[in-house]
Structure 1
Amino acid sequence: MSSRPARLIIALALVAGFLSVAAPASAETPGWVPRAEDHPSTATTADVRVPMSDGVSLLADVVRPVDADGQVVTTPLPVIVTITAYSKTVLGSPSGATLGGADPKKLVKRGYVQVTVDARGTGSSPDVWQVFGEREQLDAAEVVEWAAAQPWSNGSVGMSGPSYMGISQLFAAGQQPEGLKAIFPQVPGGEVYRDIVASGGQLNSAFMPLWLGLVNLTGLVPPSSGTVPPEETFRTYVSRLSQGVPGSAELLGGAILGGETAHDGPFYEERSTLLQAVPTVEVPTFLVGGHYDVFQRGTPLIFQELDQRGVDVKMVLGPWDHLEASAGRGLEDAGYGTLGELQLRWFDHHVKGLPDPTLDSDIPDFTYFELGSQQWKQRDGYLTDQTAEVFRLSGTSTPLLGGGELTQGPVADGTSTLLPIPVAGLCSRSTRQWTAGVTGLLLPANPCDTDNRLNDLTGAVFETPPMTEDLPLLGPINTRLHVSSTSGDGLLAVSVSRVDAGGRVERLTGGWQVISLGELDEQRSVRIDGEIVQPWHPFTAESRRTLEPGEIAPIDVEVFPTGAVIPAGDRLRVSVQSFDVPHLLSPLPQLLSSLAVTTIHTGVQHPSQVTLTRAGGGIDAATVDAVRDTLASVDAAPPRADLLTSLLGALTRFGG
């Protein structure tokens, strides 16, 4: 008997047995539905000054509900805070919807106040942008405490927003400011260097210039209210042009030239939520992540840390790029309503204090879209019951022709050559991912987003025979390659893909590693069943070691996490290139050495392998919906209703 039917039979048997003694027939128990608006419209007060402890005042827009008589509601209300680097004026415009997430006015019409603040040195706020530096982190907590103390606030505060706004929430929550009750970070980052700045040790040449340009450009949008004196606006512009733009250029240029910001260290550690904030976050947290997001790596790690500490945390991981996840596009397909409805439910319970006894049973802790089956899966946690699944690379792969194998049996010796082809990666899902989804807007039907076979011709390909049974995956992946190089350096760009019966190559995820930065910190690496599934490299200048030309060494490549299944009949593929354009670019001091010819060695003496994180149990969304429908058709008077709710919650997590 397969595991899923077995779980279904057990689940239905438990329900049937419980209902046979539990509930007399009566009216249907309704599920959660979004409540109606309390107020017909909103009013905005722009450019409100928010004083910080160092004397600088940030600028905020405050949106409050307006009643049927056209009067601003004066009753103190709970507050939702958003801190942005993309200009509150831009976020408040129709064009800012993708950047800002759900429409905050929908919450305001239901009895909230929305406060949107320009981070220090961005938008209309004065001073110099710190890029999440220590002072900016302190600002985040002080903004929350300011909002909690205003006369239109009842002292209860939540926070919302994607990307930069999500990271700001974590930095605020980590300081445990007075009044903060819950946060809702979409696509936040965990470890800045590894997640996005220099994945694998090369520089992100796609997203980082785009992002820095966006912050600096929106910083030139003038204040919207007309109440800011012209001389103050002029000083802000001068600061942007004399300090902000040069500062961004210096940051970017220093990394390109191989300076301090080209390596991990204090600068990035100060700005990493997993180090500075997440260990002290205590408030209920709802995370949204994407399989193809720029923070694909970091967001699940944040969930895992909070979940292990017992924080009330939930996460939905969907098939989205950064812009899609930021806008909440398609979130309703997970079965919990739109982004706005999900935020309303979260904040109503945790910030407004409205009872919601079925919240936990309706929404399990971890929900993810399984690539390959195209189904939503629900679990009680993220890395909870997985096992390590190892496939060894075998034989030789020839450019254009392939021929390498992935096997769990005997391996053949082989050498596979990677040529420095500087267009590798261009025709792949990687391009859309690391431009944050912008290319998806420009070319929505780009075949490179859905089929990786053309890109794979530029590298070495290793593939299993057709699977005899489903191989479900959830979590990070490690590819350990024994390699040599003509220069002793170079990039290993790894793709893990599913090959369907028609030959289409669906790129599930990828990973990258500079050979000279391959020093492994085994203490910080994640193991399952004794196998490393998520390697951790220091990426410091001191850890860099260039191999001798021709020297063979094992290099662990961290492949970012995925949630997928390789169905029976399909093939698992690992392909390796020496470039990932336009995503990654070598710092100039290593540029020539990155143009090397690299060789992958396989066989008994050089055991190259891929270690996958195989998913365990859990009940898919269809099963949960069937059980929920059964429970909803039966009337249960208290305390039976509470017992049914608990049972449903248990069933959602059964086997997970």
Structure 2
Amino acid sequence: MNVRLPRPAAALVTAVLAAAVAVPASSPALAVPDAAPAAATPTATQAAATSWTPRPEQYAKTVTTRDLAIRMDDGVILRGDLTRPATADGKPLATRLPVIVTITAYNKTLLSAGGGAVLSGADPAYLVKRGYAQLTVDARGTGSSQGQWVAFSAREGKDAGAIVEWAATRSWSNGKVGMTGASYMGISQLFAAARQPRGLKAIFPQVPAADVYRDVVASGGQIDVGFIPLWLGLVTATGVFPPAYGLQEPEAGFKMATDHLMGGLGFTLPLAVQALLGGDPAYDGPFYRERSPISVIDKVKVPTFLVGGEHDLFQRGTPLDFERLQRNGVPVKLILGPWDHLQGSSGAEVPKAGYGTLAELQLRWFDHYIKGRDGQLDKIAPLTYYEQGSGRWVKRDRWIASDLSARQYKLSGTSSVGGTSGRLVTGTPAAGTSIVPPVPVTGLCTRSANQWTAGVPSLLLKDFPCFTNNRFNDLGGLTFDTAPVSTPVRFQGPINARLYVSTPTGDGMLSVAVEDVAPDGSVSRITGGWQVVSHRTLDTTRSRYLDGKLIQPWHPFTKATQRKLASGQVAPVDVEVFPTGAVVQPGHRLRVAVQAFDVPHLLSPLTSLLGQLVPLTVHTGPSYPSSVTLPVRP
């Protein structure tokens, strides 16, 4: 049955695709801010990498059966759309086929009606026309499925595994299953794979999380008010549309609508309110561990192909997933590009990595691990990442490779608001005190504002100067610069900024950016990190060190470990600056910028907000060795 939506619903679909997680891969709006021109990508490397040739279509047509009922063990019915190759007369192919499963929270009917491409990034028809079936399922409590939505709960993870096993045992399935999808759908893949369901052979998650609290919900201990409300509202809004089967099954349709309403009242609204009021959801704990793929990833055993973004919501998490899977001996690949969440989800820029389109990579991966065809996967490096500052695509075997060493730059002297910079030095720093004022608009004119609203602003204002030049935003805080470098400073991985601070209220937030200052004065934001002063407790057993120096701090972010500074106390605060890959070219300067807000990204719980509206003091010098530590490659 084909579903036609009224004009208002179709308009919402367009907004959903722009505001949620992805848009069709062919969209011209997916220009990558700050990416080097195409000519900067080494063409010889690309040509060598793309010697694999995708096989042609086997079938010209597809046909979709909508709203199949998938009953869970507790009686809740989920709904899925099944797309298969079609015969010349439009009937489904009778042959049993391997199945590609995608589990979405964004209403499969609205998404397919509004843009043609679902949030898996690549058009599912590409695989279907080459001998696969595609099953797209609304998660419990979303879209056309019954139940109450409780995002990434253990119940939802159990559902994901059950969906895979259901797909593997249908009459139209040959028993072999793969999974695709971005963001929510990528995270669902990891939870499904951790259940080790029968039939699952390989997965292809784009921009998945690892640790949802630190990755996105409360980076540094403050609440994300850019993406999280948008996301919660999106899932709730797309769940109130009446299902297509409602006229034929009115009782089932009514139950679905009631379930979704109760889910919004019982999960979404209380969660948001409690977090903003400083309740339990403002702190890390069992709630977030249950919803973090890194908690179960050791149970993932199937080959996994990851796509991530250096300006993505899960910039921090996707590399952690890659590392853990690789450590466990799971066949895994990672392509990490200069992409925000929308761009990483769509996969439109994936060909620039040199291995073909996203659809071709998925075919290569699934043909190899599901159909037994040679995908020449040895020609794809375990890790391929975009190097900011050069435009190169770099191939490595590991995320933290043996050729990296820790290099420490110390903040030296005094900086002040308005553009007076201190220094970054590798030698002995000069003593100084610098005031970070509480300017509540800092962060607004920066790529961070685009990153933490999932990339929506760049769709509307793709040439907006704030996304490519941080110079104006830096005037609202402190800056510390090296002298123009004479040899390239090439770094890759996580970064730590240790700042010695004092504050009259004992609290506040440090927003730290690592930047590249060009000879003409333009400033490119490379990456950033955040840390609430009262959450500075460091767990050294879970932190990461290189050459004995801290490069990735781990803070508990619990109420029990939260402690304010005493009056007049100066203490070190380690700020986790999110991982990336970049080079500062000769003649450019490396900069560390420090501010007290990151708008519209983060906001303190309302109960602590007054404590954040005070100046912080950053101390430098031999007695207070504030510094930034980079994993540097020769």
Paired position in structure 2 for 1:363: 380
TM-score (norm 1): 0.88
Once the two structures are superposed, residues 123-153 of structure 1 have per-residue CA deviations (whole angstroms, 9 ceiling, x without a partner) of 1111111111111100010100000001111
Q: 1: distance between equivalents of 2:266 and 2:290? A: 21
Give the 5 Å matches for 1:294-333: 294-333=313-352
Change in 2 beyond 3 A, CA 1:96/1:420: farther
Q: Which moves more between the two structures, 262-271 or 399-408?
A: 399-408
Q: Which residue is 1:472 aligned to?
A: 490
1:514 aligns with 2:540: no
SS in 2 for 1:93: helix
Q: Distance in 2 between matches of 1:32 and 1:152?
A: 30
- Aligned residue pairs total 587
From the superposition, tell whether residues 30 and 579 of structure 1 become closer, same or farther in structure 2 (CA, over 3 Å). Answer: closer
Question: 1:389 touches 1:612 (CA, 8 Å); kept in 2?
Answer: yes
Structure 1 residue 406 corresponds to structure 2 residue 416: no
Residue 201 of structure 1 pairs with residue 218 of structure 2: no
Q: Secondary structure at the match of 1:100?
A: coil
- Secondary structure of the residue aligned to 2:216 is helix
Match of 2:202 among 166, 182, 207: 182
Shift of 1:613: 1.3
| Alignment pair present for 1:350 and 2:369 | yes
| TM-score, normalization by structure 2 | 0.91
Q: Which residue pairs with 2:394 in the alignment?
A: 377
CA distance in 2, matches of 1:62, 1:163: 21
**C-alpha deviation, 1:548, in angstroms:** 1.7
2:75 to 18, 31, 55: 55
Q: Which amino acid aligns with 2:446?
A: S
What's the CA shift for 1:544?
Answer: 0.6
- CA distance in 1: counterparts of 2:464 and 2:118, whole angstroms: 21
- The alignment partner of 2:319 has SS state of helix
Retained in 2: the 8 A contact 1:89–1:221?
no
1:175 Cα offset (Å)? 1.4
Instruction: Note the C-alpha offset of 1:503.
Output: 1.1
- Equivalent position of 1:171 in the other structure: 191
Q: What letter matches 2:136 in structure 1?
A: T
CA–CA separation in structure 2 for the residues paired with 1:145 and 1:183: 14
Q: Which residue of 1 aligns with 2:583?
A: 565
TM-fit CA distance, 1:513: 0.2
Deviations 1:254-280 (A, max 9, x none): 0000000000001001111001x2111
Is the alpha carbon distance of 1:134 and 1:96 closer, same or farther for their aligned partners in structure 2, counting shifts above 3 Å?
A: farther
Measured on the aligned residues, the alpha-carbon RMSD in Å equals: 1.6
Match of 1:23 in 2: none
- Residue 438 (structure 1) aligned with residue 453 (structure 2): no
Q: Secondary structure at the match of 1:591?
A: helix
Gaps of 5+ in 2: 1-43
In the TM superposition, residue 245 of structure 1 has moved relative to its aligned partner by: 4.3
Partners of 1:292 and 1:86 in 2: CA distance: 22
- Cα distance in 2 for partners of 1:388, 1:251 equals 40
Secondary structure of the structure 2 residue equivalent to 1:64:
strand
Relative distance call for 1:506 and 1:30 in structure 2 (3 A) is: closer
Q: Is the 8 A contact 1:314 1:366 kept in 2?
A: yes
Residue by residue, what CA displacement relative to the aligned partner does 1:546-566 show, whole Å, maximum 9, x if unpaired? 112331100000000011111
219-228 or 164-173, which deviates more: 219-228
Task: Kindly name which structure, 1 or 2, has the bigger radius of gyration based on alpha carbons.
Answer: 1
How many angstroms does 1:227 deviate by? 6.6
Which AA in structure 1 matches 2:508?
G
The answer to whether the aligner puts 1:31 opposite 2:48 as a matched pair is: no
Query: What amino acid is the match of 1:118?
Result: D
CA distance in 2, matches of 1:224, 1:474: 49
Counterpart in 1 of 2:302?
283
SS of equivalent to 1:320: coil
Q: 1:101 aligns with which of 102, 114, 121?
A: 121
Matches within 5 A, 1:137-286: 137-225=157-245, 229-275=249-295, 277-286=296-305
Q: Do the aligned partners of 1:467 and 1:568 also contact (CA within 8 Å) in 2?
A: yes
CA separation in 2, counterparts of 1:606 and 1:547? 16
Q: Retained in 2: the 8 A contact 1:39–1:68?
A: no
Partner of 2:523: 505
Q: 2:213 is matched by which residue type in structure 1?
A: Y
Q: Does 1:448 align with 2:466?
A: yes
Once the two structures are TM-superposed, the CA of residue 290 in structure 1 deviates from its matched residue by: 0.3
Question: Aligned equivalents of 2:347 and 2:247: distance in 1?
Answer: 34
Instruction: Provide the C-alpha distance between the structure 1 equivalents of 2:86 and 2:247, rounded to a whole number of angstroms.
Output: 22
Q: Offset of 1:43 from its aligned partner?
A: 0.7
Q: Mapping of 1:10-21 within 5 angstroms?
A: none
Amino acid at match of 1:148: A
Check conservation: 1:482, 1:555, Cα contact below 8 A: yes
Farther off after superposition, 240-249 or 422-431? 240-249
Q: Unpaired segments of 5 or more residues in structure 1?
A: 1-11, 13-27, 617-656
Match of 1:599 among 610, 613, 617: 617
Q: Is the 8 A contact 2:78 2:146 kept in 1?
A: yes
Shift of 1:538: 0.1
2: CA distance, partners of 1:300 / 1:402 = 36
Residue 41 (structure 1) aligned with residue 58 (structure 2): no
Distance between the aligned counterparts of 1:529 and 1:70, measured in 2? Answer: 63
Q: Matches of 1:569 and 1:593 in 2, distance apart?
A: 41
Pair 1:259–1:228, CA change in 2 (3 A): farther
Partner Cα separation in structure 1 for residue 364 and residue 111 of structure 2 = 23
Q: Residues 414-455 of structure 1: CA distance to partner in whole angstroms, max 9, x if unpaired?
A: 001011100010000000000000001111111000000111
Partner Cα distance (1:446, 1:97) in 2: 27
The Cα shift of 1:394 comes to: 0.3
> What is the deviation of 1:34?
1.4
SS at match of 1:590: helix
Q: Which residue of 2 aligns with 1:489?
A: 507
Does the Cα contact within 8 Å between 1:495 and 1:574 map onto a contact in 2? yes
Letter of the structure 2 residue corresponding to residue 76 of structure 1: R
User: Cα 1:286–1:90, aligned 2, differ >3 Å: closer, same or farther?
Assistant: same
Q: Is the 8 A contact 1:91 1:100 kept in 2?
A: no
